[in-house]
Amino acid sequence: MNVRSQISMVFHLDKCIGCHTCSVACKNIWTDRKGTEYMWFNNVETKPGTGYPTQWEDQGKYHGGWEVSGDKLRLRSTGKGRIVTNIFHNPHLPTMDDYYEPWTYKYEDLFNAPAGTDQPTAMPISKVTGKYIDIKAGPNWDDDLGGSPIYAANDPNLSGLGEEQRQQLQALERLVLFYFPRICNHCLNPACVASCPSGALYKRGEDGIVLINQKRCRAWRSCVAACPYKKTYYNWSTGKSEKCLLCYPRLETGQAPACFHSCVGRIRYLGVLLYDADRIAEIAKLPADKLVEAQREIILDPNDPNVIAEARRCGVHESVIESAQKSPVYKFVKVWKIALPPHIEYRTLPMLFYVPPLLPVLGQTDNNVYENGQDVAAIFHPFDQQRVPMKYLANLFACGDEGKIRYVLRKLMAVRAFKRAATVGDIPMATALQALSQADSSDSEAEDIYRMTALPTFAQRFVIPPMHREEAIEAFKDPQDHKREVGFGFTASPKRGL
Amino acid sequence: MNRFLPLILAFLTAACGTISLLAFPQEVAAQAAPAAADQKHAGLDPYKANCASCHAIGGGKTVGPDLKGLKDRVPSRDWVVQFVKDPAGMIAKDAYAKELRAAYPMDMPGQPSLPDNTLADIIDFIFAGGPGLAQKALRAATEADVEIGRQLFTGEKMLAGGGPACVSCHSIAGLGGLGGGTLAAGVGAMNPDLTHAFTRNGGEAGVRAALSSPQFLVMKQVFADKPMSEDEIVALTAYLGERSRQPRQDQNRDYFIVYGVIGAVLLLLLLDLVWIRRFRNVRKTLVGESQ
């Protein structure tokens, strides 16, 4: 056993209101520089939709992630031989149009326009050409309703749905959407790291954050093609690629990352997971239907004395083990089993998990009365009648296995019934308890889920371990010397070339 | 036509199997003069090295005039010295020099660096009628020589002495494809295309002489210690002769560009096919904006 620690995340989609505060917080801190105009380390997608970049989930087009060939795992986008033949032109990069052409508005027109009978307007200007543009797409085009039904209809997660189901999704009465915020998943088996010919990408040993060394990056852009989530971006100005760094400078000072900190819906949870690094190579090759379970398996119980002993032996700091024991992520993923990884079939083993959303039920008119269907005492609907097909959520979070989604939704529903019975009382407690046991849960667990979902404090949502940078620095130099010698900001700004 | 008359006659004579065609008159002259002289003339070797490629003594005119009877034709010995040192200067001011120039295809290359005593030896040698200048009779060309000459020209067959194939620097009609080299143009040769070299350079005798000891700026040095064998000279001369009878066409250079453009287009099509499944765009295709 090779125990490592990883800072992991859970996003509770039922709580996301799609306000994009996270995206804006991130943008203001990290990507408001020249060359980063089009980058969104954090973006919020509206599902069903094609996302950003357009149809990033369609690896038949983008060739991201891993595939099993024979008994080996290989990158779809590149390899030791192919990297040579594609060295001057990487054929799998999204175009600017697939992200979007960044723009701003000509705000001065609002002030300088001569007096007239109509309102002055600020025309959009391309940040690339500086000329007026006709905006064709944006990082959140699905939500802006700027496109057309074409975007929603071409969501790759709709595969496996019948034609009738797809048609119904378009119908006005059934219209459904939910939000899907995305950051870098800081995967256990990152394709971006594996693809880099310069060895510029690395996964930090102490916390598993995946970073790009701006000094070693040589702009091959292999990571851009290899990341199936399209979360590394190329900065045309510095000639380096950049990605979400999970605000590690904030984490090192005990603060939550900016997108977590600013989250209005409080959907985000962050904490340490302990995992067995020895088994990554083995489980990444498993058949797709076993991946979710296998990933859960290599996440270790931080309360297990054996695991603690092994963790100590592997050099995981005592304070990190303690932090892992309090981790909300561990509870969501491993104890309650209600958080699932996005598209684990790309085999990068993402360490950001999502609690799938309970979506509005199908409406039906009965005697000219609009009914929401009936279930647990006619208050909560059966989730199989959700407007969004179960298959769709399964494609997104469970390699198409609807059973895993049902398990989660049944439990979430039972928790609601239980709290309804306890606080309102219009559902008999016996019914609620029966629902809980059917959902593989108990009243105490339901209470825990309720507290962590509805009432968590800041410190419960973000259990940030001491980062022990001094331990990492110690390997190279005296931490006290290092502390004296480093200042603020860049010692050398990122520059093209060697 | 009267230049070819002796050739035709010589072919007929050659049927009897003894004397080679061009050498026929030369041999008579050359053998007659030095018959008694066992002593080698001091001007013989420098003459061979510097003059023989363009001038014969008693062999008829080739690239330059036949030097037989030079003594009686020129105004003075000093005139010859001046002409050899600075032909262009003499042609500009001397009427006889001008008249000579008009009769021949090119300026004689000046030899200003030839030492005075060597030049004196050469002039003595010429005035003496070229004693000991055994104009070796090269054999008559046969039909097969044309093909061998072509192979030597293109480099399909190597020159025995190790010299480079003609095609490295020269082109000629009928090579097809991309034609021959153009390096000769780069060193100031008047015409890198050798299609009509045969007629330009004094027919068979002239070309054979030119190949025996080339006087051209670069060829002189390249072939200085890699001389061509007699058979090679015969074969190449035969090939150049055969080429010169082809209708005139100087299209080779233009084909190069045409072939280049076609080649580039084919290469691009090939690349397009190899990477036919490459990423083009996603969104534009999706919403039907792609052209």
Report pLDDT digits (tens) over A1-19: 899 999 999 999 999 999 9
Q: Is residue B120 part of a domain?
A: yes
Distances in whole angstroms, Cα of residue A131 to Cα of each of A32, A101, A106, A110, B154: 20, 12, 10, 17, 60
Cβ B17 vs Cβ B36: under 8 Å? no
Question: Which structure tokens are listed for A398?
Answer: 């469970």
Distance in angstroms (rounded) separating the CA atoms of residues A210 and A196: 13
State whether B258 and B240 are in the same domain. Answer: no
State whether B37 and B123 are in the same domain. Answer: yes
Of B275, B283, B287, the CB nearest to A91: B275
Give the end-to-end CA distance of chain A in Å, rounded to a whole number.
39
Residue B273 sits at the chain A interface (C-beta within 8 Å): no
**The predicted structure's pLDDT at residue A15:** 94
**Where a domain ends, among B101, B127, B153?**
B127
Residue B146: phi and psi, rounded to 5, are -60, -45
pLDDT digits 0-9 by tens, A242-251: 999 999 999 9
Distance in angstroms (rounded) separating the CA atoms of residues B163 and B219: 10
Peptide bond into A48 cis (omega under 30): yes
Cβ B231 vs Cβ B161: under 8 Å? no
* Position B53 confidence tier, pLDDT thresholds 50, 70, 90: confident
Q: What sign does the CA torsion over B73, B79, B80, B84 have?
A: negative
In total, how many domains does chain B have?
A: 3
Of B281, B286, B289, the CB nearest to A95: B281
Distance in angstroms (rounded) separating the CA atoms of residues B268 and A215: 36
State whether B123 and B164 are in the same domain. Answer: no
Cβ B68 vs Cβ B129: under 8 Å? yes
State whether B89 and B169 are in the same domain. Answer: no
Q: Is residue B240 part of a domain?
A: yes
Inform me whether the pLDDT recorded for B178 exceeds 50. Answer: yes
**The predicted structure's pLDDT at residue B37:** 47
Residue A62 sits at the chain B interface (C-beta within 8 Å): yes
B-contacting residues of A 105-144, CB under 8 Å? Answer: 136-137
Q: Is residue B11 part of a domain?
A: no
CATH of the domain at B64: 1.10.760.10
What integer best gives the mean pLDDT of chain B?
77
Question: Which structure tokens are listed for B241?
Answer: 């002769």
**The predicted structure's pLDDT at residue A403:** 94
Residue A88 sits at the chain B interface (C-beta within 8 Å): no
Domain hosting B73: range is 29-127
Distance in angstroms (rounded) separating the CA atoms of residues B79 and B86: 11
Q: Which span out of A8-12, B76-80, B224-228 was modeled with the highest average pLDDT?
A: A8-12
State whether B256 and B216 are in the same domain. Answer: no
Of A98, A136, A150, the CB nearest to B282: A98
Would you give the distance in Å from CA A88 to the centre of its chain? 31
Q: Is residue B51 part of a domain?
A: yes
Q: Is residue B5 part of a domain?
A: no
Tokens 């700091």 sit on residue: A317
Q: How far is B261 from chain A (nearest CA, A)?
A: 23
* A92/B283 Cβ within 8 A: no
Q: What sign does the CA torsion over A215, A220, A221, A225 have?
A: negative
The pLDDT of B196-209, averaged and rounded, is 78
What's the pTM? 0.71
**The predicted structure's pLDDT at residue B21:** 37
> Which chain A residues contact residue B283 at CB under 8 A?
50, 53-55, 97-98, 136-137
Question: Which structure tokens are listed for A169?
Answer: 């999704």
Give the end-to-end CA distance of chain B in Å, rounded to a whole number.
68
Across A438-442, A461-465, B145-149, B185-189, least confident range: B185-189
Residue B103 sits at the chain A interface (C-beta within 8 Å): no
State whether B187 and B220 are in the same domain. Answer: yes
State whether B116 and B66 are in the same domain. Answer: yes
* Position B211 confidence tier, pLDDT thresholds 50, 70, 90: confident
Question: Which structure tokens are listed for A450?
Answer: 């309720």
Of A50, A61, A147, the CB nearest to B279: A61
Look at residue B171 and give its three-state secondary structure: strand
State whether B81 and B171 are in the same domain. Answer: no
Inform me whether the pLDDT recorded for B4 exceeds 60. Answer: no
Q: How far is B276 from chain A (nearest CA, A)?
A: 10
Q: Is residue B133 part of a domain?
A: no
Sorted by sequence, the CB contacts under 8 Å of residue A468 that are 6+ apart come out as A206, A317, A319, A320
Tokens 């002039």 sit on residue: B123
Residue B68 CB coordination number (10 Å): 19
Distance in angstroms (rounded) separating the CA atoms of residues B87 and B94: 10
State whether B257 and B173 are in the same domain. Answer: no
pLDDT digits 0-9 by tens, B238-278: 898 888 887 765 555 567 788 889 999 999 999 999 888 77
**The predicted structure's pLDDT at residue A368:** 66
* B287/A148 Cβ within 8 A: yes
Per residue of chain A (498 residues), give pLDDT as tens: 899 999 999 999 999 999 999 999 999 999 999 999 999 999 999 988 899 999 999 999 999 999 999 889 999 999 988 888 888 888 889 999 999 999 999 999 999 999 889 999 999 999 999 999 998 888 888 776 655 678 888 889 998 888 888 887 777 667 788 999 999 999 999 999 999 999 999 999 889 999 999 989 999 999 999 999 999 999 999 999 999 999 999 999 999 999 999 999 999 999 999 999 999 999 999 999 999 999 999 999 999 999 999 999 999 999 999 999 999 999 999 999 999 999 999 999 999 999 999 877 666 666 666 665 554 445 666 777 777 888 999 999 999 999 999 999 999 999 999 998 999 988 889 989 999 999 999 999 999 999 999 999 999 999 999 988 888 888 888 888 888 887 766 667 777 766
Residue B39 CB coordination number (10 Å): 9
State whether B40 and B114 are in the same domain. Answer: yes
Q: What percent of chain B has pLDDT over 70?
A: 79
Distance in angstroms (rounded) separating the CA atoms of residues A302 and A465: 14
State whether B184 and B111 are in the same domain. Answer: no
User: Which amino acid is residue A166, in one-letter code?
Assistant: R
> Which chain B residues contact residue A136 at CB under 8 A?
283, 289
Picking from A185, A174, A124, A184, the residue whose alpha carbon sits closest to that of residue A152 is: A174
Strands A201-203 and A210-212: antiparallel
Residue A171 sits at the chain B interface (C-beta within 8 Å): no
Of B282, B284, B289, the CB nearest to A61: B282
Q: Is residue B8 part of a domain?
A: no
> Which chain B residues contact residue A224 at CB under 8 A?
none
State whether B212 and B150 are in the same domain. Answer: yes
Inform me whether the pLDDT recorded for B58 exceeds 90. Answer: no
Distances in whole angstroms, Cα of residue A488 to Cα of each of A245, A328, A387, B156: 18, 33, 51, 72
Q: Is residue B12 part of a domain?
A: no
> Which chain B residues contact residue A94 at CB under 8 A?
279, 282
